[in-house]
Each structure stands twice: as C-alpha cells, then as structure tokens.
Amino acid sequence: MPDAQAPATLIALDWGTSSLRACLLDAAGAVLDRRESAHGIRALPEGGFPAAFAEAIQTWPEALPVLMSGMVGARSGWREAPYAETGPQGVGLANLAAALTDVSDLTGRPAWIVPGVSTRGPSGPDVMRGEETQIVGAGAVEGTLALPGTHSKWVELRAGRIAGFRTSMTGELYAALSRHTILADTLAPPADAAEDAAGFAEGLAAARALETPGDLLGAFFSIRARALFSELPPGRTGPFLSGLLIGAEIAANAPRDASPEAPVGLIANEALAARYAAALTAFGLPSRILPPDIAAAGLHAVARAARLTGDA
Amino acid sequence: MPDAQAPATLIALDWGTSSLRACLLDAAGAVLDRRESAHGIRALPEGGFPAAFAEAIQTWPEALPVLMSGMVGARSGWREAPYAETGPQGVGLANLAAALTDVSDLTGRPAWIVPGVSTRGPSGPDVMRGEETQIVGAGAVEGTLALPGTHSKWVELRAGRIAGFRTSMTGELYAALSRHTILADTLAPPADAAEDAAGFAEGLAAARALETPGDLLGAFFSIRARALFSELPPGRTGPFLSGLLIGAEIAANAPRDASPEAPVGLIANEALAARYAAALTAFGLPSRILPPDIAAAGLHAVARAARLTGDA
C-alpha cells in the first residue's frame, strides 16, 4: 500500500474509445486514488469532453498537472496530438515526453496529451494511440510485445524503443462477425470452460490449415455449415471463431524465433492474456504475461521525463 | 414476348432471405407474369409464410403446381428440404427433381421445394440453397461457375452436374466491416465511376500482396491508417475494401487454368458480374457473364424433369 500521506503530484488519464480511467499519483508513481467511467470519447456525457474531464478529476487537488493518453488525442478526440513517427531510430520515452500536446487552454489548468505513434511497413502506414503509454509503463526493452484486443498491436522493441508495429483488426472483426452476420444465428455461449477450450483449440487448428488469405472467408462460412451438420455444437462456435481469428493473427505476426529466453510479452486483461498465451503455446511459442493496468505507470514515466511534476 | 394466349402450366417461386420472386410460366418456360416482394424468409408479413405465399400467387390459376427454391427450404424456412449430397457422382437436374419436398399440406395445393445441395471439402461441409436451381437454369455443363454475393459460391461442374463447391463469406463480410467496425467512420461513397474503379484496383493489388491469412486482418485496419494519412481518399476506401475482399476470394477460389476456351462463368446481377469480371481480368483470368434472373428457368427445368406439369 502507498503511504496515504504522500503528496499527490500528477493526475493520469487513460482516455480511450469506451472508457476513461483516472488515477491520482504520488511522486513515486503510486496510485493514491482511482476512478473509472464509461465516458470514452464515443460515449461522452452531456457537456462533452469538458464535462467528462471535470467529473473524472473532481475533488482532486486543483494545482496538479494532468497527463492524458489514448483516443482523447485522436482527430475525433478533444484535440489531435500528432503522431510520433518511428522512423529509423524508433520512438522511446524521451520522444514521447518531447512531443506532448498542450491542452491547458481547453482544460483551464496545466494539461497535456501524449502523442500516438505511427510507423510505416511494407503494406503502408500504421498507427497506435494509448498503447505507446502502456508499453512505456511495462518497462520492457527488447523483443516482441503483443497487445491483443479490438485492434491488436504487435510491437517490436529495440533498446526500449518502439521500432515498428502492426495492427490486426481481430477483436473488432470477431464482434462484427458474431453479431452482424449469419453466424449470429449460430453462436451460443459455451456451456463451460471445457467446451470453450475445445472450440478454441479446433479454431486454432483450422487457422493453421488455411493456405491463402481468401481461405479465411471460406472458413467463416464453414462455421455455419459445420453447425448445420452438427459437427460443431452451438457452444463451440464462438470459441472456434475466436481461435480461427487469433490463430490467423498469430501466424501472421508472432516471431517464429520466440524462445524461453525471448518470449512474446503479452499486455492485456487477465482473460485475454491467458487466451493468447494458450494460443501461442499451441503454436510452440513461449510467452510472458506482463502486469495489466500499466497506463498509469506509463503516464507517470512520461510526466517525469517531461519534467511536468517538478519532482524528477 | 411470349404469346399471351399460351396457357400457364407452372408457378415458380425463388424465395430467398430478403426477397420473394414469383413467375407464372407456360409449358416452354416463358414468363407470362412476374411479381417481386421484399417478403424474404427474414422479412415475412403478418401471417408468415402462408400470407406471403398467398400474396405472391394471388389471381394466378388455382390448379397450377407451385415449385419453390431457396431459403424457404432451410431449417429456418417454411419446411426443411433436405440437402442433396454431391458425393462422388455430383448432383444434376435429375437428382434435384427426384428429391423434391412435398409441401402441399402447407399450401393447400400441389407444391414442392427443391432441395439445397451439400458437399464435403478438405475443410469440412459446405451448403447451397437456391444457387443449384440457378445453375440448372443457366444450362452450363462444364468448368467453374462463380455466383458472387452475400455468400459467394464457386462451383465445379462436370457433365452438367455439380461436382463440388466452396462458399466465401465475401458480401456479408463487406457489409459487416463497412457498417459495424471503425471503417464505418472512414468509408464514403465514391464521387464517380473513376474513383470507384481506382479504389477497387488498389484493393485488388493489396489482396495480391497478402501472404498469410492473418495479413487480411492487418489489411482491414490499414484502410483506416491509410485514410488517416490521406493516402486513401474517403471515396476510395469502400471500393478498396471491396477489391481487397474480392481479390482474396478470387485468389483462393478461381481456377488458375481458366482460359478463353474455358472461362469462369459468372452468375450475378449486372453490376456485380461486371465487378467480378474486372477483378478476374486483373488476375489474368477470362470470364463469361451468364444471363441473370435464371431461377425461373431452373425451376421450369426441375418441374419438367419431375413431371410436375404433365407437359413433358
């Protein structure tokens, strides 16, 4: 437990699409108080950004600087915080700290937004917003990090800097397929953990059997066909689709030379991290689950590097 | 024009998920009258199947037999019409005619439903319902047919029989991605045919550059990233996504040995057939667009083969 008497020095806001997490931090980065609301940038209350902001930090000391990360800095956010580009050198803590966007005029107090990060791969540009702060918070320095979710990120770290990354629309595609296609009629919740694990393993195996990208379009329909012929019980169809998508994502993105000495680092909530760890194991790839909820630690590190709190 | 005096001998109903097309046919298969409604099996009027049926055939001669094809015979339809299985021999006109499901008790008059067709490929079972009747109506006998749409079918014909087929969830995936993911914020209608064609060609090229199935999940997000950096104008994003999906579908399913003597046969409405023909051309594959609206011809052929009309 942090010492309740330690003075607060920073307010950290992890402000995404569907949630807003606020932390009151002391000089060591310990969390003195925390709040969470559903007021993500797509679900703002009446009064918009200022109202959500005021609610999130109410009663906390007024003089404290506020540092924010996530979609709040998107073009559709409160103010666009330009991307830091990986380029040949990569993007590290110092680059993020040097490129904060000042939003004091919007908030009426000292406040900044951390930049997102952009990169350019063989298939064009890619972007992240919020994950860069989690990565800094994780303190990892080398190798591959996966941040699975709505838009999964696979990140290459070199010497503590983000060298490059790639996004996979895995979670959002699962939601769209399972709710808005014929599969919605087919999917039923798994009866228990065993059924969930069995369907997931079958989906992973199906992903490994795919040959071309277009085979995936066939595999989606085949879930329906298998269910029609009772070859896939309804409770296994959702886990099967999850395994199919996550398996395809891993086959396309995970480093084949991951090893016990250089495992894939996983940043996600407990359930999702466990799912990806199981999938990586099925591919023969070691992984290591990093502590969740590290955005506040990342914001604290950026604030110190930018000397926002005057306590560095 | 058919001779208006030729007596009607058959009522043909092409009854799918979102529409119901009814034709009054004479002994030669000429269309004497036609009606179309939006009362597909997912959009039935009050009174359900009987009401939609009665409305579709009202005022037409009461003694005539009625033959139906499509999702009306699905498990979720009026009555399930079991699948004819391709097996080693394939499924031809005679097999369909021999496996009609009698629904006279439901309709109060002589009426049947054409079976769907099932097959089994390396990745499990696959099914069609309605397309088998269109294929019979097309009169094609050999080679590959593509029936693009919500659930595109790629069909191998041998000696006039359906030897096997594969379904690609292309159209439905396009709809789900463009309406129910972050791409919904990105897509705008193309300004004109030139912008549409340019975006579509870029999507086809992106599809050809994909290496693994999971790369497709990255390509979906990359549309968003390209748009953010103004590398893809909003009006090109929809056609790009269309080209990406159709290109992946073609790469996975089109026969590489298609030739001017053995083109891919296309069955679809005019606009969609033209889109697939353009895509196949980009892949160096010749195609031939078959006449649209051939379900009635297929139902007529099945009715004759089953001697439903007594005029064979």
Cβ contact B223:B185 at 8 Å: no
Q: What integer pLDDT is reported at residue B4 of this predicted model?
A: 55
Low-confidence ranges of chain A (pLDDT < 70): 1-5, 311-312
Residues A90 and A39 in one domain: yes
Residue B129 lies in a domain: no
Q: Rounded to whole angstroms, what are the CA distances from B200 to B54, B194, B280, B282?
A: 43, 10, 12, 11
Check if A7 contacts B (Cβ < 8 Å).
no
Task: Establish if A162 belongs to a structural domain.
Answer: no
Tell me, yes or no, whether A36 and A90 share the same domain.
yes
Count of domains for chain B: 2
Residues B70 and B177 both lie in one domain: no
Can you tell me the distance from the alpha carbon of B264 to that of B259, in angstroms, rounded to the nearest whole number?
Answer: 8
Angle between helices A234-253 and A215-228 (to 10 degrees): 160
Of the candidates A47, A44, A43, A99, the one whose C-alpha atom is nearest the C-alpha of residue A69 is A99
Same domain, A79 and A36: yes
In order of A77, B33, B53, the CA distances from B107 in angstroms are: 58, 21, 8
Give domain status of residue A219, yes or no: yes
- B150 is written with which tokens? 């919500």
Closest alpha carbon to A226 in B306, B191, B149, B167: B167
DSSP three-state, residue A146: strand
pLDDT digits (tens, 9 = 90+) for A91-129: 999 999 999 999 999 999 999 999 999 999 888 999 999
Both B174 and B110 in a single domain?
no
Is residue B147 in some structural domain?
A: no
Which chain A residues in 13-72 lie under 8 Å from chain B, judged by CB atoms? Answer: none
Give the residue from B170, B217, B222, B276 with the most A CB atoms within 10 Å of its CB, the best one to mutate. B217
Instruction: Kindly determine whether residue B251 and residue A123, on different chains, have CB atoms separated by under 8 Å.
Output: no
Please provide the size of chain A in residues.
Answer: 312
Assess: ipTM above 0.90.
yes
Residue A245: its chain B contacts at CB < 8 A? Answer: 217
Q: Is B289 on the interface with A (CB under 8 A)?
A: no
At residue B122, the pLDDT reads 84
Residues B178 and B279 in one domain: yes
Among B127, B168, B214, select the one facing A248 at the smallest CB separation. B214
Q: What pLDDT score was predicted for residue A311? A: 55
Q: Characterize the bridge pairing of strands B287-289 and B161-168.
A: unpaired
CA of B179 vs chain A CAs: smallest distance (Å): 9
- Judge contact between B223 and B186, C-beta under 8 A: yes
**Window 247-266 of B, Cβ < 8 Å to A:** 248-253
Q: Which of A147, A104, A173, A131 is nearest to A295 (CA)?
A: A131
Please indicate, yes or no, whether residues A270 and A177 belong to a single structural domain of this protein. Answer: yes
**B99 and B205 share one domain:** no
Chain B nearest CA to A154, separation (Å): 11
Q: Is the domain of A273 the same as that of A219? A: yes
Contact A225 B249 (CB under 8 A): no
Whichever domain contains B275, its CATH number is 3.30.420.310
The C-alpha of A242 sits at a distance from chain B's nearest C-alpha, in angstroms, of 13
**Overall pTM surpassing 0.90 (yes/no):** yes
Does residue A159 sit within a domain?
Answer: no
Beta-carbon contacts of B108 under 8 Å, excluding residues fewer than 6 positions away, are none
CB contact under 8 A, B168 and A250: no
| Among B residues 123-162, those touching chain A with beta carbons less than 8 Å apart | 123-127, 151
What pLDDT is stored for residue B312 in this prediction?
42
Gap between the Cα atoms of A225 and A218, Å rounded:
10
Q: Are residues A263 and A299 in the same domain?
A: no
Helix residue ranges, H only, chain A: 48-57, 93-98, 104-107, 131-138, 170-180, 193-209, 215-228, 234-253, 270-282, 295-305
Judge whether B295 lies within some domain: no
B138 membership: H or E segment, kind and range: helix B131-138
Answer whether A217 sits within 8 Å of B124, measured CB to CB. no
The pLDDT, as a whole number, for residue B311 is 55
Angle at which helix B295-305 crosses helix B131-138, to 10 degrees, equals 80
Q: Looking at the complex, does the CB of residue B168 fall below 8 Å from at least one CB of chain A?
A: yes
Does the distance separating the beta carbons of B250 and A214 come in below 8 Å?
A: yes
For residue A168, list chain B residues with Cβ-Cβ distance below 8 A: 214, 217-218, 221
Closest CA to B293 of B101, B88, B103, B138: B138
CB contacts under 8 A, A 207-226 vs B, are: 207, 209-222, 224-226
Contact B125 A231 (CB under 8 A): yes
Same domain, B106 and B205: no
A119 and A177 belong to one structural domain = no
Retrieve residue B161's tokens. 């029989």
Determine whether the interchain pair A177/B179 forms a contact, defined as Cβ–Cβ distance below 8 Å: no
CATH of the domain at A109: 3.30.420.300
Taking an 8 Å cut-off on Cβ atoms, the answer to whether A175 and B180 are in contact is yes
Q: Are A232 and A187 in contact (CB under 8 A)?
A: no
B221 with A169: Cβ contact below 8 A = yes
Query: Residue A232: inside a domain, yes or no?
Result: yes
Q: Is the dihedral of CA B223, B225, B226, B227 positive or negative?
A: positive
Location of structure tokens 């399913």: B253
Question: What pLDDT score was predicted for residue A312?
Answer: 42
* Number of neighbouring beta carbons within 10 Å of residue A241: 24
Contact A250 B214 (CB under 8 A): yes
Q: Is residue A230 part of a domain?
A: yes
The domain containing residue B236 runs over which residues?
A: 170-289
**Positions in chain B short of pLDDT 70:** 1-5, 311-312
Contacts B219 to A, Cβ<8 Å: 123
Cβ–Cβ below 8 Å for B123 and A176: no
